[in-house]
Amino acid sequence: MMKLLDVGGRRCGGAARRWLLPAGPVRCLADASAAAAAADEPLLRKRKFKPQQAPDLSEELAGQLPSKARVVICGGGITGASVAYHLGLSGWGGETLVVEQDRVGGELPWTACGLAGRFEPSYTELKLAEYSIDLIKRLAEQGLPTGWRQVGSLNLARSWDRMTAFNRMKSQAVAWGMRCEILSPEQCRDHCDLLSLDGIEGGLWIPEDGVCDPMLVCQAYLTEAQRLGVRVVEHCAIKKIHSEHGKVRGVETTAGDVECDYFVNCTGFWAREVGTLSKPVVKVPLKAVEHHYLHTRPIEGLSPDTPFVRDFDGRIFFRECEGHILAGGFEREAKMVYEDGVIPLSQTARQHPPDWDHFHELLDALLLRVPAFRGATLDRLTNSLQVFSPDCKWILGEAPEIQNYYVAAGNKTMGVSASGGIGRVLTDLITKGSTYLDLHILDISRFLGLHNNRKFLRDRCKEAPGKHFEINYPFEEFQTGRNLRMSPIYPQLKEAGAVFGQSMGYERPNYFDQQDKQDEFGLPRFRIAQTRTFGKPPWFDHVASEYRACRERIGIADYSSFTKYDFWSKGNEVVELLQYLCSNDVDVAVGSIIHTGMQNPNGGYENDCSLARLSERHYMMIAPTIQQTRSMCWIRKHMPDHLRAKVNVADVTSMYTAICILGPYSRILLSELTDTDLTPKSFPFFTYKELDVGLADGIRVLNITHTGELGYVLYIPNEYALHVYSRLYQAGQKFNIQHAGYYATRALRIEKFYAFWGQDLDTFTTPLECGRSWRVKFNKPIDFIGRSALLKQREEGVKRMYVQLLLNDHDHEVDMWCWGGEPIYRDGVYVGMTTTTGYGYTFEKQVCLGFVRNFDEAGGELPVTNEYVLSGHYEVEVAGVRFEAKVNLHSPNLPTKFPDREREAYHATRDKPDQADLLSFGGAGVVTGTGTPTGTL
């Protein structure tokens, strides 16, 4: 890399890089103790974030800053400008104030690549980007300067797996409404003749992508916002955000106080620090890393129609920009800055000296891909700091800590692509309470406090930016920030060969592998699950063994990561609250378990949970792991005022270790460790008991497994967890007990047609669409949230229906697997997408769960009926190849050597709303169509 680019006539080699290092004074300290004290001072003194002290402009700002506004937006960058513009469009312009500590749109012109593209990993992100691009086009058509040029984006692949990922996106494009085309290497060069095809396997062409000038787009947003009545005040910094009774009340600025109902944190680079200006602190997990952009001098003959080119496997991108090349990339490991937590307070201070040693890998990849750049003259290499979230996704939504406090940050250098869509959905949330997309994968409530830990962010955000250009393999795991949340039985699981995945910071076994489970010292090795293929995964045989144990013997699994809440009150208030929040009837016999949704006003699932009634006035809620923050936000926000002082809600997730034993011998095993009668008559399916197990007491035992198999989940106070686990495992040896991981329990529930929130269910999915209308009790005495929307849907008919598809003629050994997001075709016409998929070890087929729609010739949606679904011929397209499929509308009864009438009678997903469970055993404990056992316990 010694002779690569001219730097104003000089070669850019090691010496040139050394010239860029800042010269600094050399200081000698005579006294050693003074040196030690100086070294210790930063450790002992924790700096509190203080906004930039603006110049004294009080007289100038006196007439600009109102004393009251409905919405205050902090940050005049492209995201804040978009939110202001959309609030103006909604009629709130005259009540909206934008406050900027410097000048609006003040980001330096070389700190962004200007891509407005659709290549995003999820439907939600793609649709937000698509809206942004369309908006930029509209603004340009209105005559506002945006720098928009539709040059297309060319995405290159160097590997077969990358081409498979492109083929998967091409298949999804039908559903996502995105035009794209798979290219051969030669076709790639036809679109960009600068390219060397060395190592290129092919590409993906997206013709409607383009480039723009982010500063001009920001100014366009603000120009339109001001035309719609929005006030913009520059050189004014937020000092504090005040709240009262858990809601935003106002802000204190360097130019005075402003009362407001809503506050929007759009400060980007400073969002985490601005979050500290309120009480309680709003946690916005972001970390700054170095990010370089290379600019050449103008290149003669460079076409302005040169597409935006991304060589993902080389981790680089480049584009034409005003006659020269702008290039950059994402290193495998980003370089951290401000590790002491002290960040600069101005845009100018964000610029660091360029680090050629760190950039050289990307430069080598750039010159390999475009050899002609070797003769280009370098203008500058800029080191513009950017912030990333710990999962490399955008952060937006209402803060869990304070109501009416909204956040939009973490746009990972793609602010212009995200800005328009984010502005629209935040405006919808503020003005309407809901929006047109399901946002849970981007919502700030997907995090816990641990994700905002500065040292955690330092570790994780070294890795996160590199994920931006990596292949999006199934079940991909981060390597950093691990061994953080662990159940008390974690050491035993690791010793047993667990290979771990992480969810909400919790280490949970994905599968168990007895090979290579010890390190060179004979100690248990910590191993992270890897799939890294779109075909048959390397863990297939391990999961098959665990699956068989759960169906034929006994499996033991760690469910500790599940979200767990306790609800209680002195009177009947807790029942009143849950009846209002839940669509099922929770006023059932003590000891019963109710499976229920918490619906939003549109009938969609905000949560899908199980409630165990521990006593007359005490319930325990079990919900998906990712609901730990989100559920509490929803409950607090929607708790009626008259119940707030009377109902207690506690997050007890970290108080209990959850161990599931499942399989035909699980009842016999547990009977050996407790004195309680566990026969079906005494302890039927879908009921709860508090048991003594081994020498421990106070174990909350639920007769469910969330997989459809016979078994129990034991919620054990942490101090007893190791004892209970040891007793279960020792007593289970005679039954050949076997550890089971998440992948095995997931395979079980897919075959049994069980829907899970966050995978199959979301905020737009209703119980009527997914075969769960029998869990909705319209005749409850309380008008629960979403009731009117569900009644309307019941009258009009559903527009989509949840189905199970079994793939025929699919060879799991050689064909690409379904991993979710595959298009479904009925009679050759696209009708829906898969949600959760996996291999069915009993069916010996690929099993897909998903939703089917009914489109007319004009693309309008018609009601979906059972007859419509069952009368069609189905195919599922996997990475460009279609496979015939058989459709199911209800949970199947799987063949088994150990039939269990109790389980066979229960269908989680039903093709008839009024279908009831008809158990063949008599007496107490019969389960009704509510999914709740009745009778004497």
Residue 684 lies in a domain: no
Q: Which residues contact 659 (CB under 8 A, 6 or more apart)?
A: 489, 556, 557, 558, 559, 560, 713, 714, 716, 721, 724, 725, 728
Task: Specify the long-range contacts of residues 855-861, CB closer than 8 Å, at least 24 apart.
Answer: 855/829, 855/830, 855/831, 861/799, 861/800
* Average pLDDT of the chain to the nearest whole number: 90
Tell me the C-alpha distance between 386 and 398, whole Å: 23
Highest mean pLDDT among 15-19, 515-519, 824-828: 824-828
Contact 593, 686 (CB under 8 A): yes
Q: What confidence score (pLDDT) does residue 916 get?
A: 44
With left for phi above 0 and alpha for psi between -120 and 50, is residue 826 left, alpha or beta?
beta
pLDDT > 70 fraction of the chain, expressed in percent and rounded: 88
Q: What confidence score (pLDDT) does residue 53 get?
A: 60
Domain check: are 118 and 220 in the same one?
Answer: yes
Q: What confidence score (pLDDT) does residue 112 get?
A: 82
Q: Give per-residue pLDDT as tens, 874-904.
A: 999 999 999 999 999 987 778 777 777 766 6
Q: What confidence score (pLDDT) does residue 923 get?
A: 36
Domain boundary residue, one of 787, 818, 840: 787
Tell me the C-alpha distance between 153 and 379, whole Å: 24
The encoded tokens of residue 855 equal: 């489109």
Q: Is the dihedral of CA 410, 414, 419, 422 positive or negative?
A: negative
Tell me the C-alpha distance between 519 and 516, whole Å: 7
Domain check: are 778 and 888 in the same one?
Answer: no
What b/e readout covers 216-253, taking b as 16+ CB neighbours within 10 angstroms?
A: bbbbbbbebbbebebbbbbbbbbeebbbeeeebebbeb
Q: Smallest Cα–Cα separation from 887: which of 921, 844, 851?
A: 851
> What is the band of 434 on the pLDDT scale with cuts at 50, 70, 90?
very high
Q: What confidence score (pLDDT) does residue 890 get?
A: 87
Q: What confidence score (pLDDT) does residue 722 get?
A: 98
What residue numbers bound the domain in which 868 lies?
Answer: 788-905
Domain check: are 770 and 797 in the same one?
Answer: no
The encoded tokens of residue 687 equal: 């009921």
Residue 24 has pLDDT above 90, yes or no: no
Domain check: are 894 and 799 in the same one?
Answer: yes
- CATH number for the domain harbouring residue 639: 3.30.70.1400
Residues facing residue 68 across a β-bridge: 259
With left for phi above 0 and alpha for psi between -120 and 50, is residue 879 left, alpha or beta?
left
Domain check: are 432 and 567 in the same one?
Answer: no
**Mean pLDDT along residues 767-778:** 95
Domain check: are 567 and 623 in the same one?
Answer: yes
**DSSP per-residue letters across 387-409:** EE-TTSS-EEEE-SSSBTEEEEE
Domain check: are 142 and 255 in the same one?
Answer: yes
Instruction: Mean pLDDT check: name the lowest of 71-85, 322-336, 919-933.
Output: 919-933
Residue 403 lies in a domain: yes
- DSSP structure class, residue 23: P
Residue 12 has pLDDT above 90, yes or no: no
Residue 223 lies in a domain: yes
Q: What confidence score (pLDDT) does residue 86 get?
A: 98
Q: How far is CA 374 from CA 295, 299, 569, 603, 780, in A?
A: 13, 12, 73, 59, 74
**Mean pLDDT along residues 675-689:** 96
Tell me the C-alpha distance between 113 and 329, whole Å: 10
Instruction: Mean pLDDT check: name the lowest of 107-116, 437-446, 511-520, 606-615.
Output: 107-116
> What is the band of 34 on the pLDDT scale with cuts at 50, 70, 90?
very low
More confident residue, 542 or 903: 542
Residue 915 has pLDDT above 60, yes or no: no
Contact 734, 873 (CB under 8 A): no
Burial class (CB in 10 A: 0-12, 13-18, 19+), 524: middle
Domain check: are 592 and 641 in the same one?
Answer: yes
Residue 926 has pLDDT above 70, yes or no: no
* Overall domain count for the chain: 3
Contact 757, 624 (CB under 8 A): yes
Q: Give per-residue pLDDT as tens, 165-176.
A: 999 999 999 888
Q: How far is CA 727 from CA 493, 550, 674, 705, in A?
A: 14, 18, 11, 19
Tell me the C-alpha distance between 401 and 265, whole Å: 13
Amino acid at site 172: Q
Residue 494 lies in a domain: no
Q: What confidence score (pLDDT) does residue 102 get?
A: 87
Residue 786 has pLDDT above 80, yes or no: yes
The beta-strand segments (E) located in 46-114 are 71-74, 96-99
Instruction: Mean pLDDT check: name the lowest of 252-261, 331-340, 721-730, 791-800.
Output: 331-340
Tell me the C-alpha distance between 905 and 917, whole Å: 5
Rg of the chain taking only CA atoms, in angstroms: 29
Tell me the C-alpha distance between 930 and 937, whole Å: 17
Q: Give per-residue pLDDT as tens, 469-499.
A: 999 999 999 999 999 999 999 999 999 999 9
> What is the band of 692 on the pLDDT scale with cuts at 50, 70, 90?
very high
Residue 422 lies in a domain: yes
Residue 179 lies in a domain: no
Q: What confidence score (pLDDT) does residue 457 get?
A: 95
Q: What confidence score (pLDDT) does residue 47 get?
A: 52
Q: Smallest Cα–Cα separation from 330: which of 108, 113, 480, 22?
A: 113
Domain boundary residue, one of 787, 822, 842: 787
123-141 and 160-176 helices, crossing angle to 10°? 70
Q: What confidence score (pLDDT) does residue 339 get?
A: 76
Contact 874, 868 (CB under 8 A): no
Residue 784 has pLDDT above 80, yes or no: yes
> What is the band of 3 on the pLDDT scale with cuts at 50, 70, 90?
very low
Tell me the C-alpha distance between 431 and 434, whole Å: 8
Q: What confidence score (pLDDT) does residue 26 get?
A: 35
- DSSP structure class, residue 933: B
Q: Which ranges in 370-453 belong to alpha helices (H)? A: 415-431
Contact 539, 511 (CB under 8 A): yes
Residue 152 lies in a domain: no
Tell me the C-alpha distance between 343 and 445, whole Å: 25
More confident residue, 395 or 61: 395
Instruction: Mean pLDDT check: name the lowest of 33-42, 518-527, 687-696.
Output: 33-42
Determine the number of helices (DSSP H) and then strands (DSSP E) in the chain. Answer: 22, 43
Domain boundary residue, one of 396, 415, 446: 446
Residue 404 has pLDDT above 90, yes or no: yes
Domain check: are 100 and 249 in the same one?
Answer: yes
- Provide the whole-model pTM: 0.92
- CATH number for the domain harbouring residue 808: 2.40.30.110
More confident residue, 252 or 63: 252
Helix (H) / strand (E) containing 153: strand 153-157
Q: What confidence score (pLDDT) does residue 385 get?
A: 85
Q: Smallest Cα–Cα separation from 718: which of 817, 782, 652?
A: 652
Q: What confidence score (pLDDT) does residue 62 get?
A: 57
**Mean pLDDT along residues 772-785:** 95
Q: Give per-residue pLDDT as tens, 405-421.
A: 999 999 877 789 999 99
3-class SS of residue 35: helix
Domain check: are 775 and 851 in the same one?
Answer: no
Residue 663 lies in a domain: no
How many Cβ atoms are within 10 Å of 454's Cβ, its own excluded?
A: 13
**Mean pLDDT along residues 371-380:** 94
The number of residues making up the chain comes to 937
Going by their DSSP bridges, the two strands 605-615 and 618-623 should be labelled as: antiparallel
Domain check: are 441 and 584 in the same one?
Answer: no
Instruction: Mean pLDDT check: name the lowest of 234-238, 343-347, 789-793, 909-913.
Output: 909-913
Q: Which residues contact 914 (CB under 8 A, 6 or more apart)?
A: 774, 929
**Mean pLDDT along residues 647-660:** 98
Q: What confidence score (pLDDT) does residue 21 get?
A: 29
Distance of CA 57 to the CA centre of its chain: 43
Tell me the C-alpha distance between 654 and 493, whole Å: 18
Residue 28 has pLDDT above 80, yes or no: no
Residue 563 has pLDDT above 50, yes or no: yes
Going by their DSSP bridges, the two strands 262-265 and 71-74 should be labelled as: parallel
Q: What confidence score (pLDDT) does residue 49 get?
A: 66
3-class SS of residue 313: helix
Q: Which residues contact 205 (CB under 8 A, 6 or more apart)?
A: 152, 153, 154, 155, 180, 181, 182, 183, 187, 188, 191
Torsion of CA 422, 427, 428, 431, to 10 degrees: 170
- CATH number for the domain harbouring residue 240: 3.50.50.60
Q: What confidence score (pLDDT) does residue 286 get?
A: 95
Q: What confidence score (pLDDT) does residue 754 get?
A: 94
Domain check: are 783 and 851 in the same one?
Answer: no
Residue 250 has pLDDT above 60, yes or no: yes
Distance of CA 341 to the CA centre of its chain: 26
Residue 601 has pLDDT above 50, yes or no: yes
Q: How far is CA 799 from CA 162, 437, 791, 828, 836, in A?
A: 35, 17, 14, 19, 20
The encoded tokens of residue 829 equal: 């016409």
